[in-house]
Chains A and B, each alone.
Chain A
Amino acid sequence: MSDAPKRPRPQPTPETKFFWEGCARGELLLQKDNATGKCYFPPRPFVPGTGSTDISVVKASGRGRLYSYVINHRPPPGFTAPYAIAVVELDEGVRMMTNIVDCPQTPEALVLDMPVEVTFEKIDDEISLPLFRPAKG
């Protein structure tokens, strides 16, 4: 084991465990309000705004677009600057924070609304982080 600083590791809770188990299998899972068909994020066992528990877990397409970002020049331990802290909007309508990989971390390469797709970075047996890269094809 290296002693080099690592990025902060999420700790799943009872409500988010399914999401992280999905990531470990290479699946991006979302919850869907069965009444409206709309997905929501982050995970919770009811629909925000209505409280309905009539929900299902669905596998997301993993596709979306680059919604917004900053390029950080003052890195915390575990990161090398400059790197983008991004928000992507999935085709299912939800947004999530992520990093964009396989792409120069520059304003010229990181174009808003460019198509992105999910890729998973394994941290350990329990946690794989959903990251995004420019979509192929």
Chain B
Amino acid sequence: MLKPREIAVVGAAETTSLGKIPGMSNIQLHADCALNAIRDAGLKVSDIDGIACAGESPTNVAHYLGIVPKYVDGTGVGGCSFMIHVRHAAAAISAGLCKTVLITHGESGNSRIGLNRPAPNPQALAGQFEAPYGPFGPPTMFTIPVLRYLKTYGLTEEHLAMVAVIQREWSSQNTRAAMRDLTTVEGVLGSRMIAYPFRLLMCCLVTDGGGALILTSADRAKDFPNKPVYILGTGESVETPMISQMRDFTSSAAFKVAGPTAMNAAGIKHSDVDHLMIYDAFAHLPLYGLEDLGFCKPGEAAHFIWERNTAPGGKLPLNTNGGGLSYTHTGMYGMFALQESVRQMRGTADAQIKGAKVSVCHGVGGMFAASGTIVFGNE
């Protein structure tokens, strides 16, 4: 069993720019952030002996960087793949399979240069039992459970809007965030209808960018130039490739495995958490995350956010980069949530939480299809 503080993040970086990057293809975005992270860690490319990535195969990334690794992980379950890569890499390093793992994400989500997107398969279960009814991308699928959630707990569209409003308060403090202007509940509800009840400002951005992490054993970590960020606990799960077959429309079964597994492994209580990231492809994700990870009781997360507990100055700072709604969202946002957790633990975030010692980073993949959670610490 992997112990808390056995493995550390010693390198972390995003792509040189974020947003619109028409001068880089998908694979080059992986390389750009990889080289930035290798420089951040004070390493050479040849020091990397493990490769993990999603969106490109590890073969593509290893070849492009010129590495023949001892460890590869191509787990590709959507935007939380990188949390799961962290988990697997920590286990692999602990087991002695390799020493230094590079995890990369790059996605030309906006410019769509060299993007690997598989065609829908009409023989897959989703192709037979969902595609004929006209779902058209995540805004029309990830959102389907939400009216049931709102009705179950007596909530309204205003509650969804407030999630986006408060994340703008955070993004306004982040120099690299795409959307930094403050907004209001009325402003969110007045933005263009995408898929009722979801308006434009309740939906994530579509950007180009990437990020990379480098993990090694904690006993080596003190020799690196940056403050080590320790892996305290990890969790992962999957539920269903079909949003219509989610077991409970008010809760994610995968969240309920990944989150508690990570927090139990870390040996922490909810009150120990100083900083929280919950992958927010859409405004309802933080509600499900807060409840399924046990920070709020079922049906109470919207009130918790409305009462400013997750806002700047609140007791549980959430999505302090502005999230997928306002910071950046390439398509697989999980890497950017991890980057913000690492910055917060290093003490280098734009919206730095003073004295933060424990950060929980929770990801979703597909449309409630998968989940990965990492608990980070800096002591």
Contacts and interface: CB of A to CB of B under 8 A. Distances in A.
Q: How large is the interface on A (under 10, 10 to 19, 20 to 34, 35 or more residues)?
A: 35 or more
Contacts, number: 112
Contact of B144 (A68, A73, A79): A68
A55 interface: no
A8 to B, nearest CB: 4
Q: Is the interface of A mostly helix, strand, loop or mixed?
A: loop
Contacts of A73: 192-196
Interface in A31-89: 41-42, 67-76, 78-79, 82-83, 85-87
A97 to B, nearest CB: 4
Contact of B245 (A9, A79, A95, A99): A95
Contact of A42 (B129, B140, B196, B198): B129
B378 interface: no
A135 interface: no
Q: How large is the interface on B (under 10, 10 to 19, 20 to 34, 35 or more residues)?
A: 35 or more
A2 interface: no
B184 interface: no
Contacts of B198: 70
A86 B198 CA distance: 15
A107 B129 contact: no
B144 A78 contact: no
Nearest to A79: B134
Contacts of B197: 70, 107
A67 B195 contact: no
A43 to B, nearest CB: 9
B143 interface: yes
Given A73-B195, A112-B147, A112-B148, A10 B134 contact: no
Interface string B137-150: 00111011111100
Contacts of B128: 10-13, 16, 42
Contacts of B130: 97
Nearest to B195: A70
A13 B133 contact: no
A49 to B, nearest CB: 11
B190 interface: no
25 contacts: A7-B134, A8-B122, A8-B132, A9-B132, A10-B131, A11-B123, A12-B123, A41-B245, A67-B249, A68-B145, A68-B146, A68-B147, A69-B144, A72-B195, A73-B192, A73-B194, A73-B196, A74-B136, A83-B134, A85-B140, A85-B141, A86-B133, A98-B133, A107-B197, A112-B151
